[in-house]
Amino acid sequence: MMARFLAWDHRWTQRLSIAERPGPLRSAAAFLAHSGDSWFWLIGLAVVYFAGSADWQPLTLRLAIAIVVTAAFVLGLKLLFRRRRPEGNWGAIYRITDPHSFPSGHAARAALLATLSVVWGPAWLGIVLLIWAPLVILARVSMGVHFLADVIAGAALGLVAGLVFLILVPL
């Protein structure tokens, strides 16, 4: 059963891969794949927290805490499962700093941010992140740094984490 699932996972991952095909679609996928980086989000949230309106401070603080807590949980699962990333050349920084692919931290983060923003943020932010999240998730597979199962598990984890934060953290 597991062998059939892994064969399906590899087959669909290869079908979705565009990392070795130059062009505008690959460029867009590369941009989207990086747009879910935790450092990008944490720096962006810090800038909004310190330079933006005081109205944004509670939201940015909650989102930053959720990102860090979810990242720690994802890292623990990656160390537990130790699934190697797909073979490929793109995304060397990910392959060096984090050789494990299951579950996808980017997918977890994207789903987490979309879930929390729909409830905690203004309507426009929730809409933007609901569009952005699946694009990031797909881009991680398209650029060859994750298997399809990695991003499905990561997105599910991010959704659950988002729901837990919505229950535990007051608005």
Token pair of 141 as six digits: 């597979």
Q: How crowded is the C-beta side of 105, counted as CA atoms within 13 Å? A: 27
The reply to whether 146 belongs to the active site is yes
Token pair of 97 as six digits: 């700093």
The reply to whether 34 belongs to the active site is no
Q: Specify the amino acid at residue 137.
A: I
Token pair of 169 as six digits: 């953290």
- Which residue of the set 10, 34, 100, 106 is catalytic? 106
Sign of CA dihedral 135, 136, 140, 143: positive
Query: What DSSP designation does 122 have?
Result: -
Q: What radius of gyration do the chain's Cα atoms show? A: 16
Cβ distance 108 to 100 under 8 Å? no
CA dist., res. 64 & res. 128, Å (int): 18
Write down the residue that tokens 């590369």 correspond to: 30
CA dist., res. 10 & res. 20, Å (int): 16
Question: Which of the residues are catalytic?
Answer: 106, 146
